[in-house]
């Protein structure tokens, strides 16, 4: 393990030690593969050509046709199918790593000011997304619905802490993220009695975060920020902590060939029971390896960096 010395390390300088360390870890991964595993990895890498790995817009990063510069719901939000009847099979509950989320916004605007938690190893909630297996969405299931911030008064303190808008650009009073999540996804989840209004929907997310806190699960396997890990190591840790198969997502820096841990998605059925995310493959791929099957958009043969700080120059406010 190594430490990032400065939050303001510039990619325009000579290669920083932490980037070199990631590459050394990647070399170790490649050398550890036997012939059979290498063949599987090569097949998986070919699959990656058909799915987006990142959301960066600048020429220094590999761009994606799926990019939506006002929405950080990775490619889930950007590839929603036209699901006319609004039916869905399971709920994807997404926790995001704030440093990586901020990096996404920063790459759109070098002066972007993120709103980050001032707590170590603190994952935040992104959303609860009803999903039809093999598809994306549905979304905006009630076109006449409104968002009423007053409905959340009883849980407002917890919402501000655990479900913040990392973007930080919109006025706080606009509650842009919460409004977006409710109108786009909550109105579809509302077909369940357990989630049929704002307070039920958002409170369920708060409960799931408490019960399935990603930072604790990773920490139990000695995975902490400022570390480089294989996708397999991340997957093994999550399976150990959850008992079910999650979906692991990265942001990819094409210039420096670095994958950053972005979010972890876990799945629930309509009885709100934790289930495997198998079948949720539209913006990820399923890869078999000795010991299991991982669902991910991360490069299986590459180290994944779990950053403690936002890479590059940035402006941050803490809450």
107, 175, 180, 181: the active-site residue: 181
Alpha-carbon distance of 49 to 317, in angstroms, equals: 36
Q: Please tell me which residue in 53, 135, 175, 185 is annotated as part of the active site.
A: 185
Give the chain's mean pLDDT: 78
Distance from C-alpha of 297 to C-alpha of 302, rounded to nearest angstrom = 12
Q: Which domains does the chain have, with CATH numbers?
A: 64-73+84-306 (3.90.730.10)
What pLDDT score does 46 carry?
53
Q: Which residue has the tokens 């619905």?
A: 145
180 catalytically annotated: no
Across the strands, what pairs with 228? 305
Question: 218-256: string of b/e by CB count within 10 Å (b at 16+)?
Answer: beebebebebbbbbbbbbbbbbebbebbbbbbbbbbeeb
* pLDDT score, position 3: 28
pLDDT on residue 255: 78
Model pTM above 0.85:
no
Q: Please give the DSSP secondary-structure letter assigned to residue 182.
A: I
The β-bridge partners of 115 are 317
Q: Distances in Å between the alpha carbon of 268 and those of 91, 198, 205, 244?
A: 5, 18, 11, 10
Confirm if 248 and 298 have CB atoms less than 8 A apart: yes
Catalytic residue among 126, 175, 299, 314: 126
305 is a catalytic site residue: no
Q: Sign of dihedral through CA atoms 128, 259, 176, 88?
A: negative
Q: What is the pLDDT of residue 41?
A: 59
Which segments in the chain show pLDDT lower than 70? 1-23, 25-84, 106-112, 168-174, 312-319
pLDDT at 253: 84
Query: Looking up tokens 């409104």, which residue turns up?
Result: 146
Answer yes or no: 185 catalytic.
Answer: yes
């Amino acid at each position: 393990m190594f430490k990032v010395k400065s939050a303001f390390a510039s990619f325009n300088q000579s290669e920083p030690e932490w980037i070199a360390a990631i590459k050394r870890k990647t070399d170790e991964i490649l050398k550890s593969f036997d012939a059979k595993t290498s063949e599987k990895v090569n097949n998986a890498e070919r699959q990656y050509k058909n799915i987006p790995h990142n959301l960066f817009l600048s020429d220094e990063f590999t761009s994606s046709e799926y990019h939506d510069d006002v929405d950080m719901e990775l490619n889930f939000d950007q590839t929603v199918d036209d699901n006319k009847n609004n039916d869905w099979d399971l709920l994807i509950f997404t926790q995001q790593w704030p440093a990586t989320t901020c990096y996404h916004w920063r790459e759109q605007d070098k002066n972007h000011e993120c709103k980050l938690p001032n707590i170590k190893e603190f994952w935040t909630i992104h959303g609860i997304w009803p999903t039809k297996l093999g598809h994306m969405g549905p979304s905006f299931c009630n076109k006449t619905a409104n968002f009423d911030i007053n409905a959340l008064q009883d849980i407002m303190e917890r919402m501000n802490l655990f479900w913040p808008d990392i973007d930080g650009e919109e006025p706080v009073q606009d509650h842009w993220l919460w409004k977006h999540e409710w109108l786009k996804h909550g109105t579809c989840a509302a077909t369940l009695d357990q989630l049929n209004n704002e307070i039920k929907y958002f409170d369920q997310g708060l409960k799931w975060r408490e019960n399935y806190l990603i930072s604790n699960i990773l920490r139990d396997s000695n995975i902490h920020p400022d570390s480089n890990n294989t996708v397999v190591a991340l997957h093994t840790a999550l399976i150990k902590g959850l008992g079910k198969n999650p979906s692991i997502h990265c942001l990819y820096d094409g210039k420096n060939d670095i994958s950053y841990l972005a979010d972890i998605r876990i799945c629930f059925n309509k009885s709100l029971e934790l289930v495997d995310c198998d079948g949720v493959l539209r913006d990820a791929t399923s890869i078999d390896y000795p010991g299991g099957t991982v669902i991910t958009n991360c490069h299986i043969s590459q180290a994944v960096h779990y950053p403690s700080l936002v890479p590059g120059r940035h402006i941050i406010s803490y809450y």
